[in-house]
Structure 1
């Protein structure tokens, strides 16, 4: 049996013995002859002592001095004290109670009175401690959630004339802080926020802690809130918690309509804070009608999404994809549209992000995959051209262990090859969990699916990371295309990307092409495919089917037109860069029927020809012994200029194994040792 401990502070040994005898059967008893000894025992046993029996008149340190020191020390202040007095000591009793004593008993001691008083006060203290645990957050000392609600309601009721605001905060990625810096660092952060709230309120309201990293206060309105104010608070918290950069989002709800339940007021302040999560540079938001309407709208969308899928409100639209070289229909991208019976067509920009957050996107993606395969099967059965269609694979799909099985079951259900379904995965998804993405994509690619990196240019892929990704097609982001094609020909990085794609053996699709100038620029740099409003807007499946029929019916005409275009187009150029005029003449005579021949007698002239004719040059016969700069320098520039990586470069020089090896290592397609025949 574990006994509670009582400290008896009494200078009279007989009195100490009497009290010990009365208490010993039920309690563990510690004894002190004066206040100084009692303080020493308190320091040693402070967490074990349940009650103190104290005499007032003692040598060294009397009971009053002991009471004053004890009650001013937080570690001891809550321990109850029963003062022992003489029968006629009413003045002493009042003075003791004023110094913080809990009760008093008279001498001579009556055993049953002492036992009842001691048991009653210890029980009262333990009950209060339990209540206190429910009222206060143990870590920060702020009010607990339920007690905060109660106190806040009382404060509002008592001050109907005052204006109040509810302010809530939420830490972004608090679990990550605990994982990276450890639980103690997370606790220091929470305590720092609690101190900030306490200082902010400063007697003009109440503070509480909700659910781990969420804090709330009811604050008397005293100033206008600003982004700078909450930004400074975040900086201060980061500094005091020593956890580097901490991101807090704050929400403010102005208490105007007091008929709204207070719990709902707090919920609205938290909703305001959550509405700006992930938005850099935005530190607080106020709950207003605009936010309320947005949340109500999101709730209406969420409430209706399952029924919409069952009732066929979601429909597939297809945006045609064209081959730039001959402007022929080469495929399509499947897009989702929501035709609501009351609201009409809804913008995907509104419902797709919401579905990505609530997880419904996986069901919607699976619906798109199925309907797309059904359309492909229908067109094949009608004898229309066999094309491929791109479909989106969301981040949530990647983490589905059954993704590969579902996709294979879908294409098998309609008797299609996996290569007919191109799977689009956004560039940003590759940076979030690259190992998981790579593992999943590799397995899909091994099954025969074609992998596209969507929105390339909108994220921050490093070249090394891009090289590690299992890909077949790069899909350039619409905004990236629009900004890059607005730059002069010699500027921008589109040429670099095209060269990179050639090196990685990837096809390139440009999204969002809206003008003939953009289309021409993409054609000049060798982009493979394009889609956008310039060619065609997204359309229902039946309209796209008509496009396929037109293409099937105009096959022969297209071939004739192609032949005619070939005749009208300027011939490809063969650049002969050689210091020997006789040699240049021999090469010109040999190839003049197949190429338009352009000559250069030195390196500077060769580079000028490359700059002037880059989009028409089919091949270069390059002497390695050119002057100013030499052939190796020209070859190096050819390889560095990504726009002309597809030019065939044949290096020439006197037969020399070392020069041949060096030229081939630098990227020459072949080496012809002089003298040689022209066959």
Structure 2
């Protein structure tokens, strides 16, 4: 179809150019024909005057030559008046007759001048006049025919031009419509989530912002919706099942969305909604209805896994500050985090307490670089006691934040915040270097020291420069091999065992020992012990909590420790608070104990005093 249109337009333009050329020539010729009419008229009038003068014995050769010159040019096209030949047969015939009659008229003039009878001069003059008259009419008719033909051509040109423009306009409009459709399609692609068909977060922000400002008489709330432990769903039941759940939930939400309301998928298993309400209680009721529908669907499926959905709700009327849409979403998200993985409630409204907590978080995040630069992070040591000789064998480096205005901030407060926003790696590195500085100082002063373990967050695990960075710091302070132990949490070990095996190998190559922290706290697997070459394993304090069956508890702990000893893995029991626990652990062959039963975490100076007092230097053989 496009090819036909292009060919049609090309043909029309060729016709338009051809006909226009003919028309231009015609216009020029019609002007020449008008000139012929004028000069034939002059000949007609001048011949009458010449005859009268001759009959009154007033000869005028100048007038006679003038008429002769015009007639000659009319017939031959050669002369000074710019007269042209006309392609008109009858006109040319009349010109031929007019020339003959002019000769007759000249003969009679000569006779009159010779005083012969002039009876015929008047008759011939009249005949010449009538013949000239007929010639004028003929050229006028011919000119009119050409004018009519020109008009026809002009109409044809106009029609062709109009037709060409119509085709061009149609084609342009089709292209415009096509582009608009393409633009709409591209917008739909850009603004629609590929998996669920819901709006994207970008589209949500545009529409939500518009509705909030347009309908100021309405009450609006932002919902931030998240699924708990959705990674577990994907890992256990597969990604197809996980995708099915997300699509079902998106459909349920989109069917529930009313006028003025908007729904979108932010990312992964997180969704956002703008809801309109009269009473706040209606918000929770409506959301619970949708959530329960999905829970019922998943309960009916053979897997029988119950989904947990949590929502943070930020009612715009509760916000004191003037916020943009991003800030409102952040506040809803913050409210959601206060109930995620906490039994009892699935919905939380953003309020003043949450606002204060959010401000505290933002303050912590904004001050992290300044705090590190000002050395506000203080390293504490918690000793690990060797059960065989009851002496300090090693210690774990912990961190406290000593702020100039608020005093000590608990790690339980700032570490989760820094982990969430990927700042924890900065603190990890800071603590590691402070430990290196401390060991170097003790070595230079020839004072006793012990092996120190430092914690590494899961963020570091994915840092490609992690081992290289820590190794360079160790070399910078010339720390002996196996003087520092790197502690990883159990959850990190399970995420990517192949990558984790590479990390442990590189750490061993660079003179570090490695320990697995919090064993038993999460989804523990004994398989990790045979697959990953840890040097030390720390049993989480949950192993030593009060149990309904004390004998079973002791049997489990005893056999784990025996197995670890056979694997040549050093065992550490952490969180130990009671002497009877110590006696039991000593009895079953546990190597080290860390807990309040012996020592709490203490500042470096206090730990140094303890070391100096015990003089344990000879109990730790440095492998150089």
TM-score (norm 2): 0.61
Matched, 1:232 2:292: yes
> SS in structure 1 opposite 2:568?
coil
Matched, 1:424 2:487: yes
1:264-292 deviations in Å (ceiling 9; x for gaps): 43443344345556668864432222322
Once residues 484 and 539 of structure 2 are traced to their aligned partners in structure 1, the CA distance between those partners, rounded to angstroms, is 19
Once residues 316 and 383 of structure 2 are traced to their aligned partners in structure 1, the CA distance between those partners, rounded to angstroms, is 53
> SS in structure 1 opposite 2:215?
helix
- Report which of the two has the higher share of helix: 2
Distance 1:189 1:221, change over 3 A: farther
Radius of gyration: which is bigger?
Answer: 2
Distance 1:163 1:452, change over 3 A: same
Matched, 1:199 2:199: no
Distance 1:4 1:418, change over 3 A: farther
The one of 266, 276, 288 equivalent to 1:219 is: 276
Q: Offset of 1:346 from its aligned partner? A: 0.7
Q: Offset of 1:196 from its aligned partner? A: 2.1
Map 1:92-111 to 2 at 5 A.
none
> SS in structure 2 opposite 1:396?
helix
Once residues 337 and 166 of structure 2 are traced to their aligned partners in structure 1, the CA distance between those partners, rounded to angstroms, is 58
Q: Do the aligned partners of 1:485 and 1:518 also contact (CA within 8 Å) in 2?
A: no
1:106-149 deviations in Å (ceiling 9; x for gaps): xxxx9799879968986886687578669864564769335513
Once residues 174 and 112 of structure 1 are traced to their aligned partners in structure 2, the CA distance between those partners, rounded to angstroms, is 62
Quote the residue 2:389 is aligned against: 326
Q: Do the aligned partners of 1:393 and 1:423 also contact (CA within 8 Å) in 2?
A: yes
Distance 1:156 1:438, change over 3 A: same
Map 1:513-662 to 2 at 5 A.
513-552=576-615
Quote the residue 1:465 is aligned against: 528
Matched, 1:254 2:318: no
Q: Offset of 1:369 from its aligned partner? A: 1.7
Q: Do the aligned partners of 2:448 and 2:617 also contact (CA within 8 Å) in 1?
A: no
Q: Offset of 1:210 from its aligned partner? A: 5.6
Once residues 238 and 568 of structure 2 are traced to their aligned partners in structure 1, the CA distance between those partners, rounded to angstroms, is 46
Once residues 265 and 504 of structure 1 are traced to their aligned partners in structure 2, the CA distance between those partners, rounded to angstroms, is 53
Q: Offset of 1:410 from its aligned partner? A: 2.9
Quote the residue 2:204 is aligned against: 145
Q: Offset of 1:300 from its aligned partner? A: 0.6
Consecutive unaligned residues in structure 2, runs of 5 or more: 14-161, 620-624
> SS in structure 1 opposite 2:533?
coil
Distance 1:354 1:164, change over 3 A: closer
Once residues 300 and 491 of structure 2 are traced to their aligned partners in structure 1, the CA distance between those partners, rounded to angstroms, is 33
Aligned residues: 454
> SS in structure 1 opposite 2:615?
helix
TM-score (norm 1): 0.57
Matched, 1:209 2:264: yes
Map 1:340-419 to 2 at 5 A.
340-419=403-482
Distance 1:386 1:155, change over 3 A: closer
- Report which of the two has the higher share of strand: 1
1:559-583 deviations in Å (ceiling 9; x for gaps): xxxxxxxxxxxxxxxxxxxxxxxxx
Q: Offset of 1:457 from its aligned partner? A: 1.8
1:525-572 deviations in Å (ceiling 9; x for gaps): 22221121121111111111111111129999xxxxxxxxxxxxxxxx
Q: Do the aligned partners of 1:148 and 1:208 also contact (CA within 8 Å) in 2?
A: no
Superposition RMSD in Å: 4.5
Q: Do the aligned partners of 1:165 and 1:218 also contact (CA within 8 Å) in 2?
A: yes
Quote the residue 2:152 is aligned against: none
Once residues 133 and 119 of structure 1 are traced to their aligned partners in structure 2, the CA distance between those partners, rounded to angstroms, is 20
> SS in structure 1 opposite 2:378?
strand
Q: Do the aligned partners of 1:368 and 1:391 also contact (CA within 8 Å) in 2?
A: yes
Once residues 507 and 497 of structure 2 are traced to their aligned partners in structure 1, the CA distance between those partners, rounded to angstroms, is 15
Matched, 1:480 2:480: no
1:136-193 deviations in Å (ceiling 9; x for gaps): 6456476933551355135532xx2x54433343567999999999999998766644
Map 1:27-176 to 2 at 5 A.
129=181, 137-138=191-192, 140=197, 144-145=203-204, 147-149=206-208, 151-153=210-212, 156-157=215-216, 160=217, 162-170=218-226
Distance 1:438 1:279, change over 3 A: farther
Quote the residue 2:22 is aligned against: none
Once residues 337 and 183 of structure 2 are traced to their aligned partners in structure 1, the CA distance between those partners, rounded to angstroms, is 32
Quote the residue 1:654 is aligned against: none
Q: Offset of 1:335 from its aligned partner? A: 0.8
Q: Offset of 1:386 from its aligned partner? A: 4.1
Once residues 618 and 501 of structure 2 are traced to their aligned partners in structure 1, the CA distance between those partners, rounded to angstroms, is 40
